[in-house]
């Protein structure tokens, strides 16, 4: 049996286990509860002992408390376009480099190798022609660098757990709440569900915002997709994309931030020779170096249902202007 097929089945099994487990997965989840309790104690200890530092610049964290994506990137792009002189800081998951890298400076891309920047950082750099993008494992060091570059606002990707940074915390709730309410490793929560109470602002997909999905090919928008379609992706919770695609679309999912190889692409071309490939913009920054014909893109945008929800965020930012 094909190794990639087994890997895909495993990734999807883990996704179901973490969020919507069957009976067997629930049993495994309960057996791991002692480890979950230890994990929660460590989280509580870190929060209680954090010494908060104000960097003198508004820092807005955009995160969630479940494993994987829930709309952080579209919201980051939305906010970066709304405000001026923004620096987006992220860890750069999946990159081959280490340390602090300035991916783009005021819209001018400094590093074009996606293997060095990571897929998410490259997508942000390409999507934000007026912003600065920095990747760094050390978020404090990156904030200082943003100040050196004379940025006026920091958007911190997935920074909720950085308890020692003074910031405005936005937490995104998923459209469909997981039935598994436990923290890792018994479930998909990285922090206890009660942690939503610590957020300065809470936004839920389907209630406070919705995703706007459009399709394009070779830079041109398309209204009609091919009948035989393969969704090729390496993002977290890939099955959530299927609701926007024709019902017979096949899914080929790799682990989040996976770097595709030439061998994998050649095997996909052979196995799915009768299918057209559709993928996300985040995946395409890694796939465009391969010779793949007729690739369709899912363009994911965000529409905020009530822009006045951001009034508290505006107030936080304005305090630094006085």
For residues 64 and 200, membership in a common domain is answered with yes
For residues 190 and 261, membership in a common domain is answered with no
10 inside domain:
no
CA distance 184 to 189: 6
For residues 61 and 174, membership in a common domain is answered with yes
Domain harbouring 258, CATH code: 3.40.50
187 inside domain:
yes
Domain that holds residue 240: 210-303
For residues 253 and 146, membership in a common domain is answered with no
60 inside domain:
yes
Closest listed residue to residue 305, CA positions, set 175, 209, 211, 170: 209
CA distance 73 to 281: 11
Q: Tell me whether the omega of the peptide bond preceding residue 245 falls within 30 degrees of 0, making it cis.
A: no
pLDDT tens digits in sequence order for the chain, 322 residues long: 467 678 888 988 999 999 999 999 999 999 999 999 999 999 999 999 999 999 999 999 999 999 987 789 999 999 999 999 999 999 999 899 999 999 999 999 999 999 999 999 999 999 999 999 999 999 999 999 999 999 999 999 999 999 999 999 999 999 899 999 999 999 999 999 999 999 999 999 989 999 899 999 999 999 999 999 999 999 988 998 999 999 999 999 998 889 999 999 999 999 999 999 999 999 999 999 998 988 999 998 889 988 889 999 999 999 998 6
Instruction: Tell me how many domains the chain contains.
Output: 2
74 inside domain:
yes
For residues 87 and 194, membership in a common domain is answered with yes
pTM equals: 0.93
221 inside domain:
yes
Mode of pairing for the β-strands spanning 101-105 and 108-109: antiparallel
For residues 218 and 198, membership in a common domain is answered with no
For residues 56 and 150, membership in a common domain is answered with yes
For residues 180 and 220, membership in a common domain is answered with no
For residues 87 and 186, membership in a common domain is answered with yes
For residues 191 and 270, membership in a common domain is answered with no
Q: Which residues contact 37 (CB under 8 A, 6 or more apart)?
A: none
């Amino acid at each position: 049996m094909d190794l990639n097929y087994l890997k895909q089945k495993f990734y999807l099994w883990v996704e179901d286990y973490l969020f919507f487990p069957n009976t067997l997965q629930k049993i495994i989840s309960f057996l791991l509860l002692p480890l979950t309790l230890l994990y929660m104690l460590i989280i509580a200890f870190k929060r209680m002992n954090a010494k908060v530092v104000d960097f003198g610049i508004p820092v807005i964290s955009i995160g969630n408390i479940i494993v994987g994506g829930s709309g952080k990137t579209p919201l980051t792009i939305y906010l970066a376009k709304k405000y001026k002189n923004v620096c987006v800081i992220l860890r750069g998951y999946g990159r081959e480099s280490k340390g602090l890298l300035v991916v783009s400076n005021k819209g001018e891309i400094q590093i074009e190798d996606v293997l060095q920047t990571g897929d998410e950082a490259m997508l942000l750099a390409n999507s934000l022609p007026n912003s600065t993008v920095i990747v760094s494992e050390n978020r404090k060091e990156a904030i200082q660098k943003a100040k050196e570059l004379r940025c006026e606002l920091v958007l911190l990707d997935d920074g909720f757990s950085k308890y020692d940074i003074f910031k405005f915390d936005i937490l995104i709730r998923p459209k469909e709440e997981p039935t598994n309410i436990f923290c890792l490793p018994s479930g998909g929560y990285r922090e206890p569900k009660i942690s939503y109470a610590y957020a300065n602002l809470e936004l839920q997909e389907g209630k406070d915002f919705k995703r706007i999905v459009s399709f394009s090919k070779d830079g041109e928008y398309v209204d009609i997709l091919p009948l035989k379609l393969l969704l090729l992706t390496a993002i977290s919770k890939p099955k959530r994309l299927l609701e926007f695609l024709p019902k017979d679309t096949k899914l080929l999912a790799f682990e989040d931030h996976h770097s595709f190889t030439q061998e994998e692409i050649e095997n996909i071309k052979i196995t799915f020779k009768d299918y057209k490939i559709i993928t996300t913009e985040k995946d395409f920054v890694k796939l465009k170096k391969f010779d793949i014909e007729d690739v369709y893109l899912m363009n994911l945008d965000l529409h905020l249902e009530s822009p006045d929800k951001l009034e508290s965020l505006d107030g936080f930012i304005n305090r630094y202007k006085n």
